[in-house]
Amino acid sequence: MLAIADRPRERLLAYGGELVTVEELIAILLGTGTARHSAVEIAAALVAHCGGLIQLSRASPHELARVPGVGGARAARLAAAFHLGRRAMRARFAGADTMDNAADVFARLEPRLSGLAQEVFVALALDVRNAVIEEIEVARGSLTHVGVHPREVFRPLIRAAAAAVIVAHNHPSGDPRPSPADIDLTDRLRKVGELVEIPLLDHVILGHHDYWSMADRSWG
């Protein structure tokens, strides 16, 4: 019989999740290996196939099932585990949490936007205390661009009776620095916000484990 050190499930039970590798955690979800490869070896192949853990967590069950030794049932199990993890992270910020700074915005939206292969533009409708009353997905785009018009941002904000708004989007490249188009859009949103009396408090761009606050950077 293998020692505990060589059995991922037993290592998790004995030592806790922090002392178990990513491949071992995935192997536990897979359950067993195949005649040719152990569950840990299949897990390592999954990580390599997707290009890293973040990309793996966003992969569809169909893509996961293409890796030899995975199959439909195991792919569904993996996808379900990653979805549960993201929902648990979102639940931490459920309700009327207050957006006091860009770090609060990043903490709320990073579980939702991190690792996506396309840009997603989100608006946080705020009350007079800067508490979130609604989280609105305005648009989805491509790897390098998401098209957004101010009316698409402010129409739902008016319906929600928002007192202010913070907008955010992700850069799949991982670099949160704004493009000229990001700067131009932010300027237009600020002007429209002044007209409709729903001020834009910030535009936060999310990268990999980092963010860029347009307001903190003097809107550029």
Which domain covers residue 68, as residue numbers?
4-90
Model confidence over 53-81: pLDDT tens digits? 888 888 889 999 999 999 899 999 999 99
Give, to the nearest 10 degrees, the angle between helix 22-30 and helix 71-91.
120
Is 115 within the bounds of a domain?
yes
Q: Which of 37, 65, 90 is the last residue of a domain?
A: 90
In a domain, 104, yes or no: yes
Both 80 and 103 in a single domain? no
pLDDT for the residue numbered 93: 55
Mean pLDDT for all residues in the chain: 88
Q: Which of 97, 90, 112, 87 is closest to 204 using CA atoms?
A: 112
pLDDT of residue 3: 46
**Average pLDDT, stretch 131-155?**
90
Q: Is the pLDDT of residue 153 over 60?
A: yes
Q: Do 112 and 160 fall within a single domain?
A: yes
Q: Confirm whether 70 is domain-assigned.
A: yes
103 and 205 housed in the same domain: yes
Residue range 12-52, pLDDT digits in tens:
888 787 778 889 999 999 988 888 888 999 999 999 998 88
Query: Across residues 134-153, what is the average pLDDT?
Result: 89
124 pLDDT above the threshold of 50: yes
**Residue 145 reports pLDDT greater than 60:** yes
**How would residue 90 be classed by pLDDT, with cut points 50, 70 and 90?**
low
Q: Does some domain include residue 219?
A: no
- Cα–Cα distance for residue pair 20/159, rounded to 1 Å: 48
Whether residue 204 contacts residue 211, with contact meaning beta carbons closer than 8 Å, is answered with yes
Buried residues in 141-156 as b, exposed as e (16+ CB within 10 A): beeeebebebeebbeb
Using pLDDT thresholds of 50, 70 and 90, give the confidence band for residue 92. low
In this structure, what token pair is assigned to residue 207?
């990268």
Q: What CATH number is given to the structural domain containing 66?
A: 1.10.150
Question: Do 108 and 134 lie in a common domain?
Answer: yes
